[in-house]
Amino acid sequence: MAKNILGYATHSATTAVVPFQFQRRDPRKNDVVIEILYCGVCHSDLHQARNDWGNSAYPMVPGHEIIGRVISVGSAVTKFKAGETVGVGCMVDSCQHCAACEQGLEQYCENQNTMTYNDIDRHDKLPTLGGYSERIVVSDKFVLRIPEGLKLEGVAPLLCAGITTWSPLRHWNVGKDSKVAVIGLGGLGHMGLKLAKALGAHVTLFTRSIGKEDDARRLGANEIVLSTDEVQMASVKGKFDLIIDTVPYMHDLNPYIPTLTLNGTLVLVGYLGALEPALNSVQLISGRKAVAGSIIGGIAETQEMLDFCGEHGITSDVEVIKIQEINEAYERMLKSDVKYRFVIDMASLKF
């Protein structure tokens, strides 16, 4: 095994992310060894580090928005070669043979996909350790090509925030005549605006905060609706084919359901947990409306998204930090004090 890999890890739900040395597994014949250049900081990194979802295992090296350079490839790898710039997102493996995997929807693997960190490798049963580190070893099936011409630090969040909003946009066939709304202007929300706009949709931002109009319009919003204003909400009744809800905490969905058109769908991509207060089914039944969920995306659609972003010059709005600033970044994330995603420059990784 490769020894003395440098990284940052957390050792409990109540301790800081700190320097950590560990081992990476030896490459298999279908593996790609990647030097990590940038790693995005996702809100789920914070949730996992602090065991908010109750499934965290320590020590944990977070990070699943990885941009890097290929160092070497296994004997069976033909798609990648040393020196190429590549990406790794939220998954590093899946069963590859269930109905979901055969459709290219590895995120819904019936035998459970293997996450980039806080998971167990399905082959050697070792814990997976993420992108807050100097290198990573990944199956070539879960390595992504990065289009030329994009700023790499801005590409990193596409591998989670980007694909999380792209997948529902594509699944619900958003295009030129679509009317799309995005709830929340954060890491996910700002990508939802950019991608929906680039697909040709008429895009609206729902927000609870005043003062976001200029930024929202710059990111692609045609309209901004203050969701706490009953008059403004009434003005968009029956308007939206698709609403992407990016809010990561419990909130009332009922005010948004009347803004859906006939057959419209509100899709949850940000919140995990019980819905409270309960949904009023009358609003759903009266217009064959739906509340659905979506999580990240498959490898094929992630590559499609990256290629689309390359064609349209789309990246995330980021603030680049040093790895030594990660704990401060977590605290700032809790205050929504970032526009709109932190990205770690891994050149700062040294003990």
CATH number where 130 lies = 3.90.180.10
pLDDT band at 2 (very low <50, low <70, confident <90, very high): low
Q: How many structural domains compose the chain?
A: 2
Residue 350: its pLDDT value, please? Answer: 86
CA dihedral sign of residues 70, 167, 99, 108: positive
Domain with 251 in it: 161-293
Q: Does residue 135 lie in a domain region?
A: yes
Same domain, 143 and 12: yes
Residue 273: its pLDDT value, please? Answer: 86
Separation of alpha carbons 168 and 196, rounded Å: 10
Mean pLDDT of 159-174: 98
Q: Does residue 303 lie in a domain region?
A: no
Residue 71: its pLDDT value, please? Answer: 97
Same domain, 82 and 175: no
Q: Does residue 309 lie in a domain region?
A: no
Same domain, 99 and 43: yes
Q: Does residue 305 lie in a domain region?
A: no
Same domain, 44 and 21: yes
Q: What is the pLDDT of residues 137-164, one digit of tens each?
A: 999 999 999 999 999 999 999 999 999 9
Residue 211: its pLDDT value, please? Answer: 86
Whether residue 3 is predicted with pLDDT greater than 80 in this model: the reply is no
Q: Does residue 263 lie in a domain region?
A: yes
Q: Does residue 244 lie in a domain region?
A: yes
Same domain, 209 and 235: yes
Residue 31: its pLDDT value, please? Answer: 97
Same domain, 146 and 258: no
Whether residue 75 is predicted with pLDDT greater than 90 in this model: the reply is yes
Same domain, 193 and 171: yes
**Tally of CA atoms within 13 A in the half-sphere of 283 that contains its CB:** 19
Same domain, 185 and 250: yes
The rounded mean pLDDT for the chain is 96
**Would you give the DSSP letter of residue 127?**
B
Mean pLDDT of 66-93: 97
Q: What is the pLDDT of residues 290-306, one digit of tens each?
A: 999 999 999 999 999 99
Same domain, 224 and 323: no
Residue 1: its pLDDT value, please? Answer: 61
Q: Does residue 310 lie in a domain region?
A: no
Mean pLDDT of 218-233: 96
Residue 271: give its domain's CATH number: 3.40.50.720
Q: What is the pLDDT of residues 5-39, one digit of tens each?
A: 999 999 999 999 999 999 999 999 999 999 999 99
* Residues sharing a CB contact under 8 Å with residue 202, sequence separation 6 or more, in sequence order: 178, 179, 180, 222
Q: What is the pLDDT of residues 228-287, one digit of tens each?
A: 999 999 999 999 999 999 998 899 999 999 999 999 999 999 988 888 899 999 999 999
**Comparing 274 with 1, which gets the higher pLDDT?**
274
Same domain, 196 and 289: yes
Residue 272: its pLDDT value, please? Answer: 84
Whether residue 216 is predicted with pLDDT greater than 90 in this model: the reply is yes
Mean pLDDT of 192-213: 95
Same domain, 150 and 177: no
Place of tokens 């709109």: 340
Tokens standing for residue 186: 């954060």
CA distances from 183 to 39, 108, 175, 205, 318 (A): 26, 24, 19, 6, 20
Q: Does residue 100 lie in a domain region?
A: yes
Separation of alpha carbons 129 and 106, rounded Å: 19
Number of DSSP helices (H) and strands (E) in the chain, helices first: 10, 17
Contact 18, 125 (CB under 8 A): no
Q: What is the pLDDT of residues 97-132, one digit of tens each?
A: 999 999 999 999 999 999 999 999 999 999 999 999
Same domain, 281 and 234: yes
